[in-house]
Amino acid sequence: MNVGIWHRNMVAWLLVAALLPAAAAVLVEQGGIAAARFGVALATLLFWQGVFMIVRAQPFSPIALVTAFAVSLLASGTTELWQIVLAASFGAVIGEQIFGGWGRNFIPAGVVAPAFLYFAFPEVSHAGTGALVTLALAPGALILLVTGILSWRVLVGALIGLVLLTMVFGHAPAAPFMQGSLIFGLIFLVGDPVCAASTRGGGWLYGALAGGLIALLGWADVGIGAPQAVVFAALLAAIFAPLIDAGIIAMTTKQWSPHNA
Amino acid sequence: MRALRHLYSPIIDQNPITLQILGICSALAVTTSMTTSAVMAVALIAVLVISSLVISAIRRHIPNTIRLIVQITIIASLVIVADQLIQAFAFNVSQRLSIFVGLIVTNCLVLGRAEAFAMQNPPGPALLDALGNGLGYSLILLIVGFIRELLGAGTLFGFTVFVSIYDGGWFTPLNFMLLAPSAFFILGLLIWGIRTFRPAQIEPPDYKITIDPNRRAP
């Protein structure tokens, strides 16, 4: 097998590496309960990876670390750990494993699990994290951009959409950047290398859609500080990503036809 | 005994919901509680059985060009009767079912059995086939309704099974179960489960993923 160093797990390990500073920042801000959520989520995810390893021979993937971190950060109000177990199981099985494991899913498990929590237990209120996490996310984002795991088109498109709509709603353009969980979602959930649009033009469109949705849901609905905004924006954008890609591919191949030559 | 095959094969092997994926719309909409699921199931069985019987009895007299119109007319008349009966004797349930009893007219299952089976078969087998399909539909409806009501509200047929935290108990209702997407997930998991035990139901894949061992891309 001549696959080079850019194996699936290499990408996942780089994503994990990019998370480390942010993980430290979350630990400083939220303390032990965040670590407990992370541990429980990770154990659940590894359990399901093990089950699908035995039943379907789907290999383990370090992406569980990223998903567990997403759950622990975005479900900040959940103190009942069995709810985390339920959400992580749902995210891992329905969002990822039944499609054949990470790399074949079309919605990140880190989006499915928190979205399940928000729907299943609407009475729990979740809070975002502060600007410290945003700062800690910057070096990770840089690593992902340089290695090409995070498409710069998606990121720039999302930032344009987010800032533009923020200004339309009459808020300071810097306001979203004070929310650590929002920026985390922007980089790791919207910019997920598996589920984001993968064509060039599609990247711009998908990014702008996701960024615009974050601003729309954030300012007009749940509040920009609530993690719901970024999770539902990422969910909707990920559902549209294959359509966007298909449209771009159809337009491109149409241009190749001798009709226009 | 062979005739009975029409009765039992649609219950799991040819189940209208989990194999033929018919009648999904009502299966999502009415399964928030066991009561609505059961009333809907009874209404559908009644409409399906009587319409299949009537259509099968007059199948040689229906002109082929307008057969769909005749079938719809018969089904719609029966649905109106069923709807009126439910409104008369179970008004609360009829309010909760809203338009979904009326929408039995457009349920693919009823028209599908009329067109595919009752038009070609004598009344006896048509009756058994309709009853079997109705029971298969009801089985899935009741299973989904059971899971959704029990986990979403902690009750069954309106009677408390798990005391929820709002009444001082221990059970946290899963609000998600009362939303339509949960029925999609439950149906999907049911289909997965059934096909695990009945591999004959698995369709061949449309596309095969193959990995070229010499491929240099990641």
Hey, are the CB atoms on B218 and A2 less than 8 Å from each other?
A: no
Taking CA–CA distances from B186, the nearest residue in chain A reads A94
Residue B185 to chain A, least CA–CA distance (Å): 8
Residue holding tokens 């079912």? B97
Hey, are the CB atoms on A2 and B179 less than 8 Å from each other?
A: no
A101: left (phi over 0), alpha (psi -120 to 50) or beta: left
Amino acid at A124: V
Hey, are the CB atoms on B174 and A121 less than 8 Å from each other?
A: yes
Q: What is the rounded average pLDDT for all residues in chain A?
A: 89
Q: Using a CB-CB distance cutoff of 8 angstroms, which residues of chain B are in contact with residue A100?
A: 209
What digits encode the pLDDT tens for the residues A212-248? 999 999 888 887 888 889 999 999 999 999 999 999 9
pLDDT of residue A174: 84
What digits encode the pLDDT tens for the residues B44-55? 999 999 999 999
pLDDT of residue A175: 83
Report the C-alpha dihedral over residues A15, A20, A25, A26, rounded to 10 degrees. Answer: 60
- pTM exceeds 0.90 for this model: no
Average pLDDT on A185-202 reads 92
Inform me whether the C-beta atom of residue B196 falls under 8 Å from chain A C-beta atoms: no
Taking CA–CA distances from B177, the nearest residue in chain A reads A120
Residue B189 to chain A, least CA–CA distance (Å): 9
DSSP state of B203: P
Inform me whether the C-beta atom of residue B166 falls under 8 Å from chain A C-beta atoms: no
What digits encode the pLDDT tens for the residues B167-213? 777 888 888 888 888 898 999 999 988 888 888 888 888 888 776 77
Strands (E), chain B: 155-156, 159-160
Hey, are the CB atoms on A120 and B218 less than 8 Å from each other?
A: no
Residue holding tokens 């609905």? A221
pLDDT of residue B1: 66
Please check whether residue A50 is in contact with residue A56, taking contact to mean a CB–CB distance below 8 angstroms. Answer: no
Query: Rounded to an integer, what distance in angstroms lies between the CA atom of residue A109 and that of residue A232?
Result: 13
Top residue of A7, A99, A116 to mutate, by most chain B CBs within 10 Å, is A116
What digits encode the pLDDT tens for the residues A8-54? 888 999 999 999 998 888 888 887 888 888 999 999 999 999 999 99
DSSP state of B117: I
Inform me whether the C-beta atom of residue B65 falls under 8 Å from chain A C-beta atoms: no
Residue by residue, pLDDT tens for chain B (218 residues) are 677 888 888 888 888 888 888 888 888 888 888 999 999 999 999 999 999 999 999 999 999 899 999 999 999 999 999 999 999 998 888 888 878 888 888 888 888 888 888 899 999 999 999 999 999 999 999 999 999 999 888 888 888 888 887 777 788 888 888 888 889 899 999 998 888 888 888 888 888 877 677 766 55
Residue B18 to chain A, least CA–CA distance (Å): 18
Hey, are the CB atoms on A3 and B176 less than 8 Å from each other?
A: no
ipTM over 0.90? The verdict is: no
